[in-house]
């Protein structure tokens, strides 16, 4: 719409206890083509008028009974506290500097001195409304821009999540035909995180970072990774190196998600009692994400078929985890396993491996 047409269609409120002043200003505006002029000689009616109409300009007298112009400006500023440009034009016969400075300090954007000059009045009102409408358009553009940025950020975050998941799958497919281990393990980790009181945001970050926990397996030779028998000491050392390989792969990005993925990769083989690897960390020296993913990883591994073992029963798995509380696992997390068991098994059923026990 043409800006001049918008200005002429603006909602204007005139508040002056002198009916003659109201009539004169209204006549000026109507002859100029303004279409939505609202008036009152009682400032106590302003609240109800504002409930019914979104005004684009307030023309306020200063000296009024019951509620003066300063008090009315204070009320308007409170009501429209989220509006960075409140379009108030003060009508006053007072020309002293003190009154003008006070009016400006309390929210007035311009002045119109009584008695009114028609050209001056129309020009000042036009300018006030024009600035207000341009400010509103700018706010709307900013809102649209923020929405676009949010949408783009969401898309980029989703893309990053998919890259992380695909890289995790690349590692898992080397020793798991479906790669569903990383999906189950990350969802288990999410449940454990919530169970011990972490925030939804923290739990979601763990959910999205956990798929990278074993990315370092990409660098482990098949003769070690797929060996169906127990690994010897040399082979076990090679297998353990997947942790630092993973850390190296995940380094170089300072995003919250990638930093967490790196912590998980580094810590998920540490043990509560300090007998884990690669650094032999103890207790809370291990990141909470690493402690959560450690129990989620073992829970799923025990219930799954591997080249070197058959799947365990649910009872065997639960008993092992509870017996390792305070040794392998954070005892607080281990204690939540039975409470979460129905949801954990539901995830296990929803994302099965296409493997058969032999």
Q: Which range has highest mean pLDDT (31-35, 141-145, 151-155, 212-216)? A: 31-35
Residue 5 annotated among the catalytic residues of the structure:
no
Q: What is the mean pLDDT of residues 82-91?
A: 86
From 217, 262, 271, 348, the catalytic residue: 217
Q: What is the mean pLDDT of residues 32-45?
A: 94
Q: What is the mean pLDDT of residues 16-25?
A: 94
Q: What is the mean pLDDT of residues 136-156?
A: 88
The per-residue DSSP string of 44-108 comes to: GGHHHHHHH---SEEEEESS-SSS-HHHHHHHHHHHTTT-S---EEEEES---HHHHHHHHHTT-
Q: What is the mean pLDDT of residues 47-58?
A: 94
Alpha carbon dihedral 118, 123, 126, 128, in 10-degree steps, equals -110
Q: In this predicted structure, which of 105-109, 343-347, 350-354 has the lowest mean pLDDT? A: 350-354
**pLDDT beyond 70 at 54:** yes
- DSSP single-letter state for residue 282: -
**pLDDT beyond 60 at 356:** no
pLDDT tens, position by position, 158-179: 777 777 767 776 666 665 545 6
**pLDDT beyond 90 at 236:** yes
Residues above pLDDT 70, as percent of the chain: 93
Residue closest to 217 by CA, chosen among 226, 204, 205: 226
Q: What is the mean pLDDT of residues 70-83?
A: 88
Residue closest to 203 by CA, chosen among 186, 227, 219: 186
Residues above pLDDT 90, as percent of the chain: 62
**pLDDT beyond 60 at 97:** yes
Q: Please answer whether residues 239 and 224 qualify as being in contact, where contact means their C-beta atoms are separated by less than 8 angstroms.
A: yes
* Residue scoring higher pLDDT (191 or 96): 191
Q: CA angle, corner 333, sides to 332 and 337, nearest 5?
A: 120
User: Which of the four pLDDT bands, split at 50, 70 and 90, describes residue 120?
Assistant: very high
Q: How many residues does the chain have?
A: 358
pTM for the predicted model, two decimal places = 0.60
pLDDT the model gives residue 329 = 97
The span from the CA of 300 to the CA of 348, in Å, is 8
Q: In this predicted structure, which of 35-49, 133-147, 173-187, 296-310 has the lowest mean pLDDT? A: 173-187
pLDDT the model gives residue 105 = 87
pLDDT the model gives residue 308 = 64
The span from the CA of 237 to the CA of 229, in Å, is 15
User: Which of the four pLDDT bands, split at 50, 70 and 90, describes residue 1?
Assistant: low
Q: What is the mean pLDDT of residues 50-61?
A: 94
pLDDT the model gives residue 218 = 87
pLDDT the model gives residue 307 = 64
The span from the CA of 254 to the CA of 230, in Å, is 38
Q: What is the mean pLDDT of residues 204-211?
A: 92
The per-residue DSSP string of 341-352 comes to: HHHHHHHHHHS-
Domains present along the chain, CATH in parentheses = 3-145 (3.40.50.2300), 173-350 (1.10.3210.10)
User: Which of the four pLDDT bands, split at 50, 70 and 90, describes residue 99?
Assistant: confident
The per-residue DSSP string of 7-31 comes to: HHT-EEEEE-S-HHHHHHHHHHHHH
**pLDDT beyond 60 at 293:** yes
Averaged pLDDT of the chain: 89
């Amino acid at each position: 719409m043409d800006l001049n047409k918008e200005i002429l269609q603006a909602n204007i409120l005139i508040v002056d206890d002198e009916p003659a002043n109201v009539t004169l200003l209204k006549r000026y505006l109507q002859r100029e083509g303004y279409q939505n002029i609202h008036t009152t000689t009682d400032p106590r009616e302003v609240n109800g008028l504002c409930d019914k109409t979104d005004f684009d300009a307030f023309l306020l007298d200063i000296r009024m009974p019951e509620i003066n112009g300063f008090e009315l400006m204070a009320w308007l500023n409170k009501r429209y506290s989220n509006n960075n440009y409140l379009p108030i034009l003060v009508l006053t016969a007072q020309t002293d500097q003190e009154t003008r400075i006070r009016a400006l300090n309390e929210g007035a954007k311009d002045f119109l001195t009584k008695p009114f000059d028609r050209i001056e009045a129309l020009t000042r009102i036009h300018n006030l409304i024009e600035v207000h409408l341009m400010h509103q358009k700018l706010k709307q553009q900013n809102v649209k821009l923020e929405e676009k940025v949010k949408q783009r950020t969401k898309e980029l975050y989703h893309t990053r999540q998919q890259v992380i998941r695909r890289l995790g799958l690349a590692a898992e497919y080397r020793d798991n035909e479906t790669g569903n281990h990383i999906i189950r393990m990350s969802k288990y980790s999410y449940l454990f995180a919530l169970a011990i009181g972490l925030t939804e945001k923290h739990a979601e970050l763990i959910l999205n970072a956990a798929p990278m926990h074993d990315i370092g397996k990409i660098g482990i030779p098949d003769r070690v990774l797929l060996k169906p028998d127990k690994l010897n000491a040399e082979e076990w050392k090679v297998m353990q190196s997947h942790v630092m390989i993973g850390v190296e792969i995940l380094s170089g990005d300072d995003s919250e998600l990638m930093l967490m993925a790196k912590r998980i990769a580094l810590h998920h083989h540490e043990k509560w009692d300090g007998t884990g690897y690669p650094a032999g960390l103890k207790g809370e020296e291990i990141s909470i994400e690493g402690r959560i993913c450690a129990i989620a990883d073992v829970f799923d591994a025990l219930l799954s078929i591997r080249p070197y073992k058959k799947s365990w029963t649910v009872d065997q798995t639960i008993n092992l985890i509870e017996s390792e509380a305070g040794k392998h696992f954070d005892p607080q997390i281990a204690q939540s396993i039975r409470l979460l068991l129905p949801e954990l098994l539901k995830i296990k059923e929803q994302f099965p491996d296409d493997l058969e026990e032999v």
